[in-house]
Amino acid sequence: MAKSGQHGGNTRQMAEKYGLNAEDLLDFSANINPLGMPQTLRDAIIDQMSCVERYPDIDYQQLHQAIARHHWPQQNTSPESYENYIVAGNGATELIFQWVQQTRPQRALIVEPTFAEYRRALTRYSCDIEAFMLREEEGFEVTERLLDALHDGLDCLFLCTPNNPTGLMPETTLLQRLLQRTAELNINLFVDESFIDFIPENPGLTAALRDFPNLFLLRSMTKFYAIPGLRLGYLLSSNQQVLTPLRDIREPWTINAFAALGGEILFEDHAYAKQTYRWLKAEQHALYQGLSQLPALTVYPPTANYIFFRLNQPDLDLQDALMHHKILIRHCANYPGLSARHYRVAIKSHQDNQQLLQALGEIFSHAA
């Protein structure tokens, strides 16, 4: 099991530590859409409750078709079927482990600091890991240095776009060059786009899948659609040499019937997506501005639904200070390359964000 401190959202453990009720905590540590689960899904689950009395389709055909329609809406007129580009999973996390199990890389490069599960999966299968460290003096941006770090002894590169926890998105031209270079060097490029739905103007690398069989794209539905407890993600690739055996070795029915139902209907919920973009556009800007006005913080510009910052007061434990305001934020001390002075906060509702800003204002006025 992953250690509880490795991810956000550990409200139970943190509440216990401070003698609080988990329900009373305002959780800024997990990056989940504050609009909550779409009403369309809630209604569909209630309506179709009895689907738990049957096994789900072992191939999840309708789910895969829905994902294909979403990414390749032109498929009805195109002779090529994209369904075989897709493997859905019980959350994106399951697919990270299954992909590593299937491809068995001997040597991997991870762009750090990043989501911890790539390293855990690679370690489970005894892969040697090199870390490409993003640098604070480069604003944690992915730069051309990454191209220079590639070599033909690598089997794969793990890159998260936008990156968690730094929130930054590499330039599209750099990603194209990475694709070219990894293909030339025969390196599998595993790109985690779990938060990219929060950037409506950025389609990610889906269009490159057909030409680059070394590309594997990971998507999660748990953040954008606020269903982390339901578990649903998918992997996209044109590489049938990897996807076919990966499908064959998996345990059957790991996606529960409600999650599969969610995948079948959620892409059609355009009203929910629109409402999410409207909320995010306003609140991303407002929270970023609010945090940036605090002299104690160096705030990195967000692209998705969370904001990363550094605290410039070395003797203050900001997570602890905020817990006294019943607010939980994610400290980033356990990420390689970061320290106890780095933090990440989710962007939540206007009211919650204001509460966070007010609590921070109070903490800094006392600390000054």
Ligand X SMILES: Cc1ncc(COP(=O)(O)O)c(C=O)c1O
Which parts of this chain interact with ligand X (CB under 6 A)?
7, 91-93, 115, 160, 164, 192, 194, 220, 222, 228, 233
Whichever of 221 and 327 has its CB closer to ligand X, that residue is 221
Residue closer to ligand X, measured from CB, 192 or 352 = 192
| CB 153 to ligand X: min, Å | 26
Minimum CB separation of residue 270 from ligand X in Å reads 22
Q: Terminus-to-terminus CA distance in the chain, angstroms? A: 41
DSSP-assigned letter for residue 336: T
Q: Which of 194/353 has CB closer to ligand X?
A: 194
**Contact present, 311 and 297 (Cβ < 8 Å):** yes
Cβ distance to ligand X smaller for residue 15 or 160: 160
Q: Write the burial class of residue 56 (CB in 10 Å: 0-12 exposed, 13-18 middle, 19+ buried).
A: buried
Q: Does a cis peptide bond (omega within 30 degrees of 0) precede residue 200? A: no
Rounded to a whole number of angstroms, the minimum distance from the CB of residue 303 to ligand X is 13
> Quick one: 254 or 354, whose CB is closer to ligand X?
254
Q: Which is nearer to ligand X, 13 or 241 (CB)?
A: 13
Residues 8 and 222: their CA atoms lie apart, in Å, by 14
Angle between helices 350-367 and 270-292 (to 10 degrees): 10
Residue 180 CB, shortest distance to ligand X, in Å, is 24
* Closest residue to ligand X, based on beta-carbon distance: 91
The distance of closest approach from Cβ of residue 95 to ligand X in the complex, given in angstroms and rounded to an integer, is 8
DSSP assignment of 265-332: HGGG-HHHHHHHHHHHHHHHHHHHHHHHT-TTEEEPPPSSSEEEEEES-TT--HHHHHHTTTEE-EE-
Name the burial class of residue 271, with classes exposed (0-12), middle (13-18) and buried (19+) by CB atoms within 10 angstroms of its CB: exposed
Cβ-based nearer residue to ligand X, 122 or 321: 122
Distance CA(51)–CA(181), nearest Å, equals 47
Query: Considering beta carbons, is residue 115 or 258 the nearer one to ligand X?
Result: 115
Residues counted in the chain: 368
Q: Which helix (H) or strand (E) holds 264?
A: helix 257-265
Q: Which residues sit opposite 299 in a β-bridge?
A: 309
Compute the least distance from the CB of residue 193 to ligand X, in Å. 9
Let me know: does 68 contact 76? Beta carbons within 8 Å.
no
Instruction: Please state the closest distance from residue 192 (CB atom) to ligand X, in A.
Output: 5
Taking the complex as a whole, the smallest distance from the CB of residue 228 to ligand X amounts, in Å, to 5
